[in-house]
Structure 1
């Protein structure tokens, strides 16, 4: 507990010194997002409620916290929010199809031994739970990519107010191409960093590459990474188009 308090204090000091007021709001946003997740888990215990719908509602709150609370309400955060919601809805449909096809819900055989003493008859749909897990794993990366594209597009529009919608759209795409590689690699290394012990365990058990890739634990996490990467890729053109549309429409409204 003392270590957690110490690390939290160091994090708060660094975020306050480097980020200023936004850094302090970002630190508070961590606890607000944690509160949203706790409430989500509480409602997920009710079998009558759809976990996917609850997760979508939680994603809306998380997006509002990450965008509007930290960066305030402006054209940048509004367009990033719209792009995040549109991309998340499209991704939910895609993830639902993939989860049903790949059958990655539930627990793998590597996990059942440790959980054998517990009952799995908890009255919840594990397919929907798997969809919710993947959505929650992608929402942070999607909002991060959306604001990273919308912000420089707004700056470009401020300095070049006569820029055409098509040119502004392609400018947003060029920014998205620059951050796409780093964003997907971040997701990739986050997975291998978190599951390095599992990979070492696979090696000690003399798993073949085929057994590793076909194990439910490994494949489910790898599918999560792929879905998150698809979400980050998809949000680039969505954010570029929505931002270009709203900024140029705003200019047209002012002129008219």
Structure 2
């Protein structure tokens, strides 16, 4: 039996065992999100389309699947959705500026040998492609933080109906601070694990520290990690404020 099928079966079994019905939905959402990415890439191959618009549409679809399909439509998922979209809008302008300024678009010297037989004149703006890559890499992390803050804040309000907006915001920030360190470290180690071969290549080529930190491949990944970490830091106060405002408003119904 194919190794991928075996691993998928093990994952499915564990998700059902731990998460029950929600675990099944989470497993299915993996394939739905994969399908969204494939559709985005398919349309992105057309030079007449804007990769950034396609990416933002794909991100909204992914957020909807992760929040509304897996966790259903309720107050906490709605607030997490709003928080994620607001953060994405703020991050988009920042990411576009950083990506253009750092000139990380295109391919690095280490990749040119493999791409030498192919033409790079394909009519696609590589700056926009780089922006799309960073946004896609960021959306998962900030959605995770948004729901991780929204859910306990709602529970706090249910068990303490008289909590003020200020107290709820303070509680949300405390929850966010606990998440901040672990999530940023998760992103860092995901990079180390995914690009361990690249680090070994740098070692094999006897790159100096200066050459490593100026390598386009290395810088592109570090920029992605830093942008995702900035997104995590930004979404904590945004989610805390939005939830605190909603939970103390007249329209809120437990």
TM-score by length of 1: 0.97
State the match for 2:81 in structure 1: 81
Query: How do 1:116-131 residues align onto structure 2 when only pairs under 5 Å count?
Result: 116-131=116-131
Partner of 1:14: 14
- Residue 127 of structure 2 corresponds to residue 132 of structure 1: no
Which runs of 5 or more structure 2 residues have no equivalent in the other structure? Answer: none
**Where do 1:87-98 residues align within 5 Å?**
87-98=87-98
Stretches of structure 1 lacking an aligned partner (at least 5 in a row): none
Instruction: State the SS of the aligned residue for 1:106.
Output: coil
Name the CA distance, whole Å, in 2 between partners of 1:185 and 1:32: 27
SS in 1 for 2:16: helix
Report Cα offsets for 1:94-132 as digits up to 9, x if no partner: 000001100000000000111111110111000000000
Following superposition of structure 1 onto structure 2, how do residues 146-157 of structure 1 map, counting pairs within 5 Å?
146-157=146-157
Say what the alpha-carbon RMSD is for the aligned residues: 1.1
**How far did 1:59 drift?**
0.5
**Residue 254 (structure 1) shift:** 6.7
- For the pair 1:207 / 2:204, whether they are aligned, the reply is no
Query: How far does the alpha carbon of each residue in 1:159-202 deviate from its partner, in whole angstroms, 9 at most, with x for none?
Result: 01111111101110000000100000000000011111111111
4+ residue runs of structure 1 moved beyond 2 angstroms?
Answer: 252-255
SS of alignment partner, residue 114 of structure 2: coil
Q: Which residue of 2 is the match for residue 185 of structure 1?
A: 185
TM-score under structure 2 length normalisation: 0.98
Q: Secondary structure at the match of 2:84?
A: helix
**Alpha-carbon distance between aligned partners in 2 of 1:137 and 1:46, rounded to the nearest angstrom:** 22
- Match for residue 235 of structure 2? 235
